[in-house]
Amino acid sequence: MFLIESTHYSLERGSLAIIENRNPITVKEAISKIMKKVDKIQIEIIPLSEAAGRVLAEPVLAIHDVPPFNRSIYDGYAVRSVDTTGAASHSPIAFTVIDRIAAGDVSTALLGKNKAVRIMTGAELPKESDAVVMLEETVSSEDSFTIRKSFTQLENVSLKGEDAKKGDVIIEKGSHITPGVIAVLATFGYTHVKVAKRPVVGLLVTGSELLDVSTPLKPGKIRNSNGPMVTAQLKRLGVEPRWLGVLDDDIESCYLSVKQAAKDCDAVITTGGVSVGDFDYLPAVFERMGAEVLFNKVKMRPGSVTTVAHTDNGLLFGLSGNPSSSFVGFELFVRPALLAMIGSNKPYLPYNKAVLQEDLQANSFTQFIRAIYESSPTGVIVYPAGFNKSNSVTSIARGNSFIVLPGGTEGYKKGEIVDVLLLGLDEGGENWFIHE
């Protein structure tokens, strides 16, 4: 009755037509459809101090050898190894100290026979010396010392270029800038780094039942948890969302907001309103925008009604409204797409196998169960993080991973080895490893 009287009758009928034809595809197929539509984002040059967490848009090349000179790895004495030959406890050899250098100093002293330079860790080896005697291996006095063992050529010397050779590719383009990458960039004097720009991601949530976080509960209403949750998921990827607010389940306002967001943003995320309910307007909104719906049903639980569409301006992620469904939809679909947009070469969630700690029921669709993955003395184990339903919010909070159970009829037993996807880590995998 309501639908027929609505002024948007034809649109809603349109959405019904899409629903009737919902054709579930595998998660792998869904990801592949999305990844084909990903457009790479532009590049920008930023200061090194701001580069942590970004993705390299060019490889890091060794501008020079590392270390750039032969240096001592110990505090001790630089000597000519030939002068140490024959030293033993019964026949110590004495050396005269002719100079003393700290790291950063360069000694110009010329080492003659049984002469030594007192040298600190990291200092460049004086010309003609080719070994370092550790302080602990000497009996020292003011300007001399004795040794009781011989030293081989280059003993205790860190060789020029042993860590990196000039011209080597040290880090591939598309890598995440970790603290280690920052160290390498600093080593080579990269004051600025070429990275992909961060995508502008519009985020809005739909639902007339939704209250702001600060509002006391009212009959029939709940607080909007998806907005803050997806915001945090984006932030975990280093993306600051463009928050577009909580929308009522009203087709006109949903249409106007999503259309405008698609124009302004590189990608748009919505939550709620993608199922078949009378007030689930996102399918109709996508249709009215002329967006190409890539899929609207995935063989997965939760999040089976996740709907992803595409316009000339970018991807539209219609995550389903249930908190666990939104959360899983983001990690499986939005995350790799955004990482691929910024040129990451490892956009997929990190994968592992672990030993299941309790029996679990089968489902005809692949299940992504919010789970706790942890170390144990016998290896890694995994178990559900709590209430295992699409509408659970607590299991998202307790979990750090997904147990992935392929669809089927037979349940899973405690002790079985299962697939696990890990959450919250910067860098993931080059491939989607899950077989469905």
Ligand X SMILES: Nc1nc2c(c(=O)[nH]1)N[C@H]1C(S)=C(S)[C@@H](COP(=O)(O)OP(=O)(O)OC[C@H]3O[C@@H](n4cnc5c(N)ncnc54)[C@H](O)[C@@H]3O)O[C@H]1N2
Which residues contribute to the site for ligand X (CB under 6 A)? Answer: 205-207, 209-210, 222, 224-227, 271-277, 280, 302, 304-305, 320-323, 325, 390-391
Question: Toward Mg ion, which CB reaches closer, 154 or 276?
Answer: 276
Q: Compute the distance between CA of residue 402 and CA of residue 420 in angstroms, rounded to an integer.
A: 6
- Shortest distance (Å) from residue 277 CB to Mg ion: 4
Distances (CA, A) of 28 to 24, 56, 145, 271, 293: 12, 27, 69, 21, 17
User: Which CB sits closer to ligand X, 126 or 321?
Assistant: 321
Helix (H, G, I), strand (E, B) or coil at 308: strand
Picked from Mg ion, ligand MOO, ligand X, none, the partner binding residue 323 (CB below 5 to 8 A depending on kind) is ligand X
In the bound state with ligand MOO, the residue whose beta carbon lies nearer, of 79 and 328, is: 328
- With residue 218 as reference, give the H or E element that holds it: none
CB of 326 to ligand MOO, least distance (A): 9
Question: Which CB, 170 or 434, lies closer to ligand MOO?
Answer: 434
Among 275, 324, 367, 388, binds Mg ion (CB under 5 A): 275
Tell the smallest beta-carbon distance from residue 348 to ligand MOO (Å): 21
Closest CB to ligand MOO among 319 and 423? 319
Q: In the complex, what is the shortest distance from the CB of residue 206 to ligand X, in angstroms, rounded to a whole number?
A: 6
Q: 3-state class of 88 per DSSP? A: strand
Q: Least separation, in Å, of the C-beta of 180 and ligand MOO?
A: 38
- Binding piece for Mg ion, criterion CB under 5 A, among 118-126, 207-215, 267-275, 395-403: 267-275
- The Cα 326–Cα 281 span in angstroms is 16
Residue 347 binding partner per list ligand MOO, Mg ion, ligand X, none, with a CB distance cut-off of 5 to 8 Å that depends on partner kind: none
Please report how close the Cβ of residue 19 comes to ligand MOO at its closest, in angstroms. 13
- How far is it, in rounded angstroms, from Cα 64 to Cα 187? 9
Burial 248-261 (b: 16+ CB within 10 A, else e): ebebebbbebbbeb
Chain residues that interact with ligand MOO, rule: CB under 6 A: 301-305, 320, 322, 325, 390
Closer residue to ligand MOO, CB minimum distance, 72 or 363: 363
Q: Using CB under 5 A, pick the residue from 124, 249, 280, 419 that binds Mg ion.
A: 280
Q: Please give the C-alpha separations between residue 355 and each of 12, 343, 350, 351, 378, in angstroms, as whole numbers.
A: 47, 34, 17, 14, 10
In whole angstroms, what is the distance from residue 408 CA to residue 416 CA?
16
Contacts with Mg ion by CB under 5 A: the residue count is: 3
CA 330/CA 318 separation, integer angstroms: 10
Nearer to ligand MOO, 70 or 304 (CB): 304
126 binds, options Mg ion, ligand MOO, ligand X, none, Cβ within 5 to 8 A by partner type: none
Q: Which stretch binds Mg ion (CB under 5 A): 254-262, 276-284, 396-404, 427-435?
A: 276-284
313 versus 388: smaller Cβ distance to ligand MOO = 388
| Strand runs labelled E in 282-343 | 292-295, 300-301, 307-311, 314-319
Task: Please identify, using beta-carbon distances, which residue of 274 and 339 lies nearer to Mg ion.
Answer: 274
Task: CB nearer to Mg ion: give 273 or 384.
Answer: 273
Please state, as a whole number, how many other Cβ atoms lie within 10 Å of the Cβ of residue 206.
29
Maximum Cα interatomic distance, the chain, rounded to a whole number of Å? 108
- For residue 207, the partner it binds in ligand X, Mg ion, ligand MOO, none, with Cβ less than 5 to 8 A by kind, is ligand X
Among the listed residues 298, 290, 253, 252, the one whose alpha carbon sits nearest the alpha carbon of residue 274: 298
Residue 15 interacts with Mg ion (CB under 5 A): yes or no: no
Closest CA to 434 of 326, 324, 296, 298: 298
Which position among 47, 112, 245, 277 is part of the footprint of Mg ion (CB under 5 A)? 277
- The answer to whether residues 168 and 62 touch, using CB atoms and an 8 Å cutoff, is yes
Least distance (Å) between residue 305 CB and ligand MOO? 4
Identify the three-state secondary structure at position 382.
Answer: strand
Q: What is the DSSP string of 41-71?
A: PPEEEEEGGG-TT-BBSSPEE-SS-BSSS-E
Q: Which residue is nearest to ligand X (CB)?
A: 321
Q: Which parts of this chain interact with Mg ion (CB under 5 A)? A: 275, 277, 280
